[in-house]
Amino acid sequence: MKNNRWHILLLASFLIGCTAFMGAQNLASFEKRITVKTLDNGLTVIVCERSEAPVFSFFTHVDVGSDREVPGITGLAHMFEHMAFKGTDKIGTNDYADEKGALENVERAYQAYDQERRREVGRDDKKLAELDKAWKDAMTLAQKYVVENQFGEIVEQNGGRGLNAFTTNEETGYHYSFPSNQVELWAYLESERFLHPVFREFYKEREVVHEERRLGESNPFERLFEQFMATAYVAHPYGQPVVGWPSDLESFSMTDAQAYYKKYYVPASMIVTLVGDVKADEVMPVIEKYFGRLPTGPKPEPLRTVEPPQNAERIVLIHETTQPIFIEGYHKPSARDKDDAVYAAVQDLMSNGRTSRLYRSLVRDKKIAAQTGGFNGFPGNKYPNMFVFYAISTPGHTPDENRDAVHAEIERLKNEDITDEELQMVKTRAKADLLRQLGDNEGLAYQLGFAQSLHGDWREIFRHVDEIEKVSKADIRRVANATFVESNRTVAMIESTQLATAPAAGKEPK
Amino acid sequence: MTSRRQFILAAIVLSLLACAPASWGQASDWKQIQPPPLHAFHPQLPKRIQLANGMVVFLQEDHELPLIRGTAQIRGGSRDEPAGKVGLVEIYGQAWRTGGTKQRTGDQLDDYLEARAAKVETSGGLDSTYVTWDCLKENLDDVFKIFLEVLREPEFREDKIVLAKNQLNTGISRRNDDPFSITFRESSKLVYGADSPYARVSEYATVASVAREDLVSWHHRYVHPNNIILGISGDFDSSAVEAMLHQAFDSWPKGPAPSKLQLSFHGPKPGIYFAEKSDVTASMVMMVDLGITRDNPDYYAIEVFNHFFGESMNSRLFSNIRSKKGLAYAVGGGVGAEYDHPGTLGLFLGTKSRTTAAAIDAFNEELDALKTNPSTPEELNKAKQAILNSFVFRFDSKDKILDARMDYEFYGYPADFLEKYRAGIEKVTQQDVDRVAQKYVHKDKLALLVVGKAADFDRPLSSFGPVTTLDITIPPPAGAQK
């Protein structure tokens, strides 16, 4: 793993007296502390030694999210993520031999019910009620074998903290932290949940996930973003909500979830990253022993669908009693594109803090927004994605005013070079921001696994900063002119039916 | 006159967990895995210094990254602001920094600091205000100078007070857009009283009444060295920083100590409260009462109780209401504890409109079950194990240790409170847990709050008893035409 070239660079940096960024925490130091190994079954393991305290954190990154879902099964990747907390054939059951049969009965009963439920013509309501009852009775029988939430209980009882998981439009992640003497228990639990998952309480959990969707629906931003994405994407699955459409959450089956899991949860799509008070030469054999049991499967072929170029502006307008929100997005290349660092620089310049252009225009000077910003890489990174701007207006101001002010700043970016000071600030901040991400096991485990998954190399965390260092004023104008054009734009706004009245203006500055 | 007491508590050394030798054979069952003992760990405690003028300083060296952070916590917060000027401390917390110093405007500070990827920020909280910095080691001198300017010589320029008021007014105008914010705001009012400093919220009128003079006089009243606890962590040499602090602060005279807030707490008026939110598909259900303070001897038994009742992955509320009944995604609860005033006892869930009453039934079932079956030996043991085995995460970073130590100093808790906490948890018995469950959780004393779309409920709330409908209309700004 080690590369002598970096030691030479390190030495050189001391000679030229640049100490702040090249001290103990540069790529060279991480090269020494990081071990990467690809197991025989294709699973990638990253171990980063950091002995601050006798604990470690991990992330399991799986290279699939809702991006492989098609109509009818939206929300399924996220559903599997929930099932990965339901235990195995040994965890969460008091008698797996009998439970297995009971779960098969649940699934048969559900299929029969669902087939009748979705019959468009000639549906027999009496029969449907019987099938519904049979399905629910089967669930009640299966419930007898369940030891509730035992997987989480074992983690917590043994000192685990922060047990959680997430699903995005392109990946799924599982994580928690343990005291450092629990490496073997962790390796057992984390491999077993993917080796022998049991989809118990599937249809109860589907209800839970639907409740999760409803909580999202309660938030005006989420309502708006769902419509925004569905409008901005006509072909690519980025347009589908990760949590799934309501009809699909009421329809998809345990069989569907098993098929998705079997196809996409292959070791070649999984990266396990461990960071903390561990020694690679001690933990790697343990990890290999447990995770090596996952059966090899073919890595799924890459997604075929590519979003076609947008040819006209699209607008979503929602009328609500909630106060106005403005967002707009522009299609742009994936994070693997050579211009990714340029977009990152644009994001920093436009929206990082009180020196940012959007803050100074919309919040400080025009006083039409309380918050505003722009971010690169929505809703993901793996595929061509969007650069999104947003503004939250102050009372009495409309999203139209926000839009015009954002557009004025975009035009400035396209037509004028940014200043030397701005460019230098962006570069200095990129380096410091990287440093600020390195002092935490959990954050590091996420970053390393994410970079490994997206770019095939954890070193990209460091190289990204080098790429930002190379960004020129011309790059920024070039990218802004290529991206921020009307035909490539999708706007989404909440226009308030009860716009708040602006309080009388305070004393204005002299 | 510098007192150089070392953080008094004996270094926390983790006790050994199960001590069977490590076996590297492949386990087929988690029960076969015996963890080796966790090796001894002596967390690094910060160095405490008290300056002659009363300022307390904690220095926590951490040489992992070339960064240095500082936090000055100053006594006095929003609970101390006048009722007619609610929002003052929040406006102060913003304009303190954005309004600049005698020497530089806030915008000039922004440019100067951002060019160095550094931050100096201010903020206002419930019981304190803060000035913080975060910089690269190489910029400490420059950034500390700005920190001092902000701390000692703020200018509170009018244009930034206007901006801060815009922020607050925007928050007011949007506070009913999301049912979560309605639920937590209104439940606090039920627990502490609508006018209580722990529950009241700013209105257009109270924001409008705050003037620059209020910020200036707040600053003069509270920002004195004897009201400040300063914590510094990062890649520095303590003796050099100590010298820097003496130079910066030794000539700063003591000021008057702020008066302590004296309040009594009565808890909610039991009953059913409802706020209509017609544009949602889910209801928020919350049951609340007063909680406890952390110096209450029952705190440890409460922590164990909370774990198995409503806070853990396999808690009663999570397993029964979420996993078995599928009624909620977000569900939880427990008896809240704060350092110097009672926390909130709360049960919370979100459920689809048409299972609102069913969810209330489910909460009631759990509350009734506490009467007949407050805890089982298994629940007690698992909860204690979970808390004790994860104890290391309370001090697994130098910053966490510093933050905890600053909290204990601020609230007058013993410096070894963390060690006491562990000993307290170890001693909790089943009788303790059963006793605190009976003592603090009373179904008939709870206020039940529901926020949602009444027309879609499975049963009317009135089927549970008389309902008080809350008016959550936002009072319009003065002079505004409807």
Calpha distance A180→B39 (Å, rounded)? 9
Contacts of B43 in chain A (CB under 8 A): 53
Can you tell me which residue has the tokens 């079954």? A41
- Name the β-bridge partners of B56: B50, B229
pLDDT at residue B45 tops 70: yes
Query: Chain A partners of B26 at a C-beta cutoff of 8 Å?
Result: 289-290
Same fold? A59-92+152-291, A314-496: yes
**pLDDT < 70: residue spans in chain A:** 1-24, 505-510
CB A452 within 8 A of CB A44: yes
Quote the pLDDT of residue A16. Answer: 34
Task: Using pLDDT thresholds of 50, 70 and 90, give the confidence band for residue B22.
Answer: very low
Q: What is the mean pLDDT of residues B206-221?
A: 98
Cβ of A502 within 8 Å of Cβ of B477? The answer is yes
Statement: residue B463 has pLDDT above 70: yes
Q: Are A84 and A165 in contact (CB under 8 A)?
A: yes
Between A171 and B20, where is the model more confident? A171
Q: A288: which 2 tokens?
A: 């290999």
Q: Which residue do the tokens 């490496």 mark?
A: A183
Collect all residues of chain A within an 8 Å Cβ-Cβ radius of residue B30: 90-91, 154, 185, 188-189
In this prediction, residue B260 carries a pLDDT of: 85
Portion of chain B with pLDDT greater than 70, in percent: 94
pLDDT band of residue B15 (cuts 50, 70, 90) is: very low
Edge-to-edge, what's the strand order for the sheet holding A369-378?
A: A314-320, A489-496, A325-332, A385-393, A369-378
pLDDT, one tens digit per residue, over B117-145 is 999 999 999 999 999 999 999 999 999 99
More confident of the two residues A331 and B11: A331
What mean pLDDT comes out for the span B195-223?
97
Q: Which contacts of B430-433 are long-range, i.e. CB under 8 A and separated by 24 or more positions?
A: B430/B375, B430/B377, B430/B380, B432/B298, B432/B300, B432/B301, B432/B304, B433/B301, B433/B304, B433/B305, B433/B374, B433/B375, B433/B380
Q: What is the tens place of the pLDDT at every residue in A204-236?
A: 999 999 999 999 999 999 999 999 999 999 999
Domains of chain B with bracketed CATH: 47-249 (3.30.830.10), 271-469 (3.30.830.10)
Single pTM value for the model: 0.93
The more confident residue out of B249 and B5 is B249
Q: What is the pLDDT of residue A326?
A: 98
Contacts of A145 in chain B (CB under 8 A): none
In this structure, which topology does domain A59-92+152-291 adopt according to CATH?
Cytochrome Bc1 Complex; Chain A, domain 1 (3.30.830)
B68: nearest CA partner in chain A: A436
Supply the pLDDT for residue B261: 86
CATH topology of domain A314-496: Cytochrome Bc1 Complex; Chain A, domain 1 (3.30.830)
CA distances from B314 to A150, A305, B113, B278, B367 (A): 7, 41, 47, 33, 17
**Res. B377: pLDDT tops 70:** yes
Mean pLDDT of B45-51: 98
Domain spans in chain A, listed from the N-terminal domain onward: 1-35, 59-92+152-291, 94-145, 314-496
The count of CB pairs under 8 A between chains A and B is: 275
Q: What pLDDT does B480 receive?
A: 65
Cross-chain residue pair A322–B174, CB shorter than 8 Å: yes
Q: Measuring CA to CA, which residue among B175, B68, B56 is closest to residue B118?
A: B68
Per-residue pLDDT at B21: 34
Q: How many angstroms separate the CA of residue A218 from the nearest CA in chain B?
A: 5
> What is the pLDDT confidence band of residue B259, given thresholds at 50, 70 and 90?
confident
Cα separations in angstroms, B56 against B152, B187, B232, B240, B449: 17, 36, 11, 17, 43
Contact across the interface for B476 and A439, Cβ inside 8 Å: no
Q: Which candidate in B170, B236, B348, B376 is best for mutational testing of the A interface (most A CBs within 10 A)?
A: B170
Helical H segments across A268-376, by residue range: 280-291, 340-351, 357-358
